[in-house]
Structure 1
Amino acid sequence: MNVSLTPVLESLVKAKVESGLYNNASEVVREALRLMEQRDQHTLLRKELELGVAQLHGGKTTVFDMNASKAKAIKNAKTGRKVNPLVTTDNP
């Protein structure tokens, strides 16, 4: 895979490598992509938090029932329903 960078971004990558923090440009790009993925996850979590706060202020909350939640999760898994990525265990 080849990636084209602006001269400014290319200078930034070179500076990171020259600083000794990274061995090569690929490491810099991989780290940048990891950080971008982390930022996207934080954005998703913030949106969910805002929704939850709005529901709380709107009086749209209920008491949490772990057994009912587990039963619903099992039912959803058996029917192949897509799981919200925020409730999976493989998130960083």
Structure 2
Amino acid sequence: MPNVHLTEPMQKYVQAQIESGAYANLSEVVRAGVRMLMEKDGARQFYALKADLEMAATLAENGDFAEFDAQAFEPDAFDR
């Protein structure tokens, strides 16, 4: 999987990054890009979870919830 095909504008940008000293070679530029995508994906997951939690809190505040029975959920934890 080491082959990377870039458009001409991307090639020029990468070459400028290397010439400026920001990166030593194409591999460093690609790794930086992949790291940014990974961070962005992590942020996307965080905000999706946050939205889910906000919706659950709103439902609970409106009385749309079920009582949790810890003993029914994990009966062995109460056998002491």
TM-score (norm: length of structure 1): 0.61
Partner of 2:44: 43
Equivalent AA in structure 1 for residue 8 of structure 2 = P
- 2:55 corresponds to: 54
Equivalent position of 2:8 in the other structure: 7
State the Cα deviation string for residues 20-42 of structure 1 (Å, max 9, x = none). Answer: 11111110110100111111111
SS at match of 2:3: coil
**In 2: Cα distance, 1:41 partner to 1:33 partner:** 12
For the residues of structure 2 that align with 1:40 and 1:24, how far apart are their CA atoms?
Answer: 25
Deviations 1:7-62 (A, max 9, x none): 1111111111112111111101101001111111110111000100111111168x
Question: What TM-score comes out, normalization by structure 2 length?
Answer: 0.70
Instruction: Give the secondary-structure state (helix, strand or coil) at the position aligned to 2:6.
Output: coil
Match of 1:26 in 2: 27
Which structure has more relative contact order (CA 8 Å, sep 6+)? It is 1
Percentage of matched positions with identical amino acids? 30
The runs of 5 or more residues in structure 1 that have no matched partner are: 62-67, 73-92
**Whole-angstrom distance in 1 between the partners of 2:49 and 2:7:** 35
| Structure 1 runs, 4 residues or longer, greater than 3 Å off | none
